[in-house]
Structure 1
Amino acid sequence: MPEITIEPNAWDAKIAQYASTRDPDALQAVPEPEWRDLSSDFANIRPTSVERAEARFRRRIGEAIQGDAFLENITYTLPEIEDVLGGTHVPGHTEGEELQVIDMKKAADSVLWRIRERPTQPSQELSDGLHMLIASNLNLASLLFRGDQRERYNGPFVRLGRGRKFQALDARLTHDVLDAGLPRILSVEHPVVRGATWAAFAAYQQFYFDGNKRTGRYVMNTVAMSHGFDAIVIPTSAREQYVNEVVNALETGDLTSHIAFLLSLYDDGR
């Protein structure tokens, strides 16, 4: 595999230009990943076919949704996930939790529909479409891409534990950040690395008020499967490590470890 090389970007200039007329203390620095050579992380990640990737994901869809729910502190067992998807109420869980599981299934179905059309790339359009399904039973402010809202909100706060919190960029910067970051992501040659990079990028940028990490991962798997690679499923046992990777990226602005962690979970069953 060729090495991943990405030229320096103009994000710092964009931040400086914006900060000249705004309070710079209100801005969170845009991440600058190390972009170290990740070839060892994806050397054995090879494509098979869209059909095989789809069939394997269909067999694992309950496991995938259970893992995604667990990352949101929604602790269903796998049989309970299957009950919810079959229309059965599971005692001990709220209606809101059930609706989130159902919405994740709708998003997963949308991924399966999208991968049949053509090889897919990360984009705001893809992200918005999947996010609408994932966030449909969250709050209304969560639905729109922050840069597209009628009012320009300050970036949301993400609680990191032990009293720490992260504030995302002001909504007025989200389109500039996307416009600067997306070409760099699209320049990554390997589709699975490209999708994982988007997932880490989206988790950091907080393009929506809720559902960012989930949406980023569903975009990642749409990209991967549409190119004939398997989806990356995060098992419940990996929750703590995943959370640590997200927190580390938010605190340091370096997405590389988060990307490498996602790649480490790749399993095509061969």
Structure 2
Amino acid sequence: MERLVSIDLESDFGFLRKPDTNEGISMSYNMLHKPSLLGIFGAVLGLDGYQKRGVLPDYYQQLQHLKVGIAPLRDERGNFQKTTIIYTNTVGYANKDGNFIAYENTLISPSYRVYVALSDENPLYHSLKNGQAEYIPYLGKNEFPVWWKPESFQEYALDPFDFDQEYQVASLFCKKDGESSRIKEFGGNTLGFAAMFTKYSQSFFYFERLPVGFHEFEVKKRGKEYQYQMAPFVYSNAKFASDYRLENLYRLKDNQVVQLN
């Protein structure tokens, strides 16, 4: 039987590198995203990572079908503190013209509650429940190990939300480009995102474009390559009217739901 489970991932530091920054300072995504989370799950299960250029890693091919949701923990309204770490890259090819100094915008104490739909026959279910991993998982770089406490493991019924009431989305949720939303807040008002910013100081919205997978393309003389497939995500404590129907929502408790993608 498939069910919804969650664990709380924690790390002292994290660096989820944005591939579009390679000069000057390298930037990190603020939120954990699905391809990175699947890498963590791959380490838990002991699956192979990248082995050959132009071939997606074994963990991704085996786990890409998983439905996952992600929510930040102990955050400042979704935004983790950051620092710039400066170091010398000692790899030979990086130093042909002198020492290469790297600057990385690094997350401080990032933590996330991750949700995943699993059957109790899936080996990942037992590993997460027992706090076991074949390889040491890390958050973007192998010097930033990530862990979870077995007591953070929770189970829920995999119950699709039927929009029978107003709701709050406890996880990140995907918002289509150009889509306007209807948000129900205190006093029964229904407003758009921009109006909520100005009228209700107790409501917040965090926006970030994040990877959701990979798309394939051909490079002349190099063959097949992959780039991130991106989507716009939102994290908020706002209440949504029942007539605003986000996709892939599952009920947690009370009026809280998560989106699984």
Q: What TM-score range do you get, normalising by the shorter chain?
A: under 0.3
Larger % of helix: which? 1
Larger % of strand: which? 2
Q: TM-score, normalised by structure 1?
A: 0.22
Q: Which has the larger radius of gyration?
A: 2
Q: TM-score, normalised by structure 2?
A: 0.23
